[in-house]
Each structure stands twice: as C-alpha cells, then as structure tokens.
Amino acid sequence: MNVVLLGAPGVGKGTTAERLSGRYSLPHISTGDVLRESIASKTSLGLKAKAFVDSGRLVPDKLVTEMVKARIAGNSKGFFLDGYPRNINQAEALKAFSEVDVVLNLSAPKKLVIERLSGRRICMKCNAIYHVKNIAPKKDNVCDKCGSELYQRSDETPDVITERLRVYDEDTKPLVDFYRNEGLLRDIDAAQDVDGVVKQCVEALERDD
Ligand code: ADP
Ligand code: AMP
C-alpha cells in the first residue's frame, strides 16, 4: 500500500503517518526529517538544502526526488510518504518511479494549523513529534519514547512559517486537484484529535472504491 499524505505544514501529517506506520508496519518516510538530518550531519545534500529549508522555500525538485527514490527503493510492501510531492513537477516525477494507491488529504482551518506549528517540539534523537499544549511530553522538554531532549525547529519562526504557508498555497495545494482527478484523493478532517484523524484515515484506507 503506497500512501501519500498531503496537507499544509503543521496540519498533522507526521503525527498521523507515524501512527499509521505502526498500525500497518510500513515505513514512514518524511522528506523534512531526512533533510534536517542531512543538514545536521553536513552531508553534501544537507549543505545544498540548508538555505532553502532555513528560509521556508522548496529544495530543488531534482535533489528531493533523488532522495525519495533512494528511500522508497526496496519498500515493496509500501510506505507512508509525508512531505513529497510538494508540487506538480514532483508529483509527475513520483508517478514515473512509483505507483500511488491512496492520497490522504489532511485539512484544518489556517488558525489551527498556525497554532499547531507554533507549539511543535521534536525529539533531537528519534524525531518524535510533540506539542507544548496538545500533545505534551510527560516531562517538560524530554522525549517520552527515548528520553532525549526536545527542540523547536529553526524554521518555526513567524516569518518562515508565513513563507512556508505561502509556498503551500502556491505550489502544493494544486496537488489536491491533481490527485482528485486521478481518483486517488481521500479528504480527511484534521481538525479532530489525533485518534479521530487516525480513525478517519484507517476508514479511508480500508474503503474499497
Ligand atoms: P506536519 O507533519 O503536517 O507538519 P505534525 O504532525 O508535525 O505536522 O504536527 C504539527 C503539530 O501539531 C505538532 O506539534 C503535533 O504534536 C500537533 N498535532 C498533530 N496532529 C494533531 C491533532 N490531531 N490534534 C492536535 N495537535 C496535533
Ligand atoms: P517539513 O518537515 O515537511 O515541514 O519540511 C521542512 C522543509 O524541508 C520545507 O520547508 C522545505 O524547505 C523542505 N522540503 C521538505 N520536503 C520537500 C519537498 N518535497 N520538496 C522541496 N522541499 C522540501
């Protein structure tokens, strides 16, 4: 089962994909996580991507596409792909190297998305996702899963958040119609709590139409 999660930054794709990945025993591939890890370890991809990620712009399609191609190779049972494709060019590229079975389109009002983005905290080691209010760790700033420190992403400043939401509206939103036309889109109300969102995704994945 090859699944793409679509939606604005902060809507809850990573949180939902992580839960679905556990339920179906399929990998969660987050392009944002891979890029942040590459930047932290100063690989050649990371060095090329840093200025784009820091400013909230899209990393060039060719770089990201090669990265995703390498990650999904060998996952013959499927994947939950989060953060790719991000524009029509990437969607066409994906079509050429992998089938997509379902696209889960997560949406929520912009105000809620900004509130989620602004309070997000990530584990430095295992990338687990928290929120200072909605999904708080048991102990302040400490990951429940691995005990490492949590951090706030450097692209989570008001200016960069504004730019990322602009890029979403301009470049990524057209994918909703792209995948609707392909008959693959399932609309998910992401304004619910995580259990509600996951339940709706499971129903959408198990519906046979
Ligand atoms: P995305 O991957 O779409 O950028 P995340 O999964 O990282 O979004 O979630 C963004 C923030 O919102 C995180 O702080 C996360 O803990 C929180 N969050 C995710 N889903 C929900 C939800 N259904 N209800 C409340 N908060 C959520
Ligand atoms: P995310 O973690 O999904 O919010 O992504 C963080 C940042 O990584 C984005 O603002 C982009 O700079 C970059 N990025 C992630 N996925 C892609 C992609 N598919 N294409 C281009 N840039 C991406």
Q: Is 149 exposed, middle or buried (0-12, 13-18, 19+ CB in 10 A)?
A: exposed
SS3 136: coil
The atom of ligand 2 lying closest to the CA of 33 is 2
The catalytic residue among 36, 116, 121, 164 is 164
Ligand 2 pocket check for 56: Cβ under 6 Å: yes
Taking Cα atoms as reference points, which of 108, 109, 103, 111 lies closest to residue 176?
103
- The architecture (CATH level 2) of 2-206 comes to 3-Layer(aba) Sandwich (3.40)
Task: State whether the Cα torsion 18-84-41-56 is positive or negative.
Answer: negative
User: Can you give the pLDDT at residue 54?
Assistant: 96
Taking Cα atoms as reference points, which of 40, 42, 37, 35 lies closest to residue 57?
35
Provide the residue ranges of all domains of the chain, joining segments of one domain with +.
2-206
Annotation marks residue 86 as catalytic: yes
pLDDT tens by residue, 18-62: 999 999 999 999 999 999 999 999 999 999 999 999 999 999 999
Q: Does position 208 have pLDDT exceeding 90, yes or no?
A: no
How far, in Å, are 16, 29, 83, 97, 148 from residue 193 at the CA level? Answer: 10, 22, 21, 34, 25
The catalytic residue among 13, 19, 116, 186 is 13
pLDDT tens by residue, 50-106: 999 999 999 999 999 999 999 999 888 999 999 999 999 999 999 999 999 999 999
Q: Which two tokens stand for residue 10?
A: 């902060």
User: Can you give the pLDDT at residue 109?
Assistant: 97
Distance CA 120, CA 131 (A): 5
Ligand 1 centroid–CA 6 distance in Å is 13
User: Can you give the pLDDT at residue 86?
Assistant: 98
The atom of ligand 2 lying closest to the CA of 85 is 19
Would the pTM of this model clear 0.85, i.e. be above it?
yes
User: Can you give the pLDDT at residue 74?
Assistant: 83
Q: Does position 209 have pLDDT exceeding 80, yes or no?
A: no
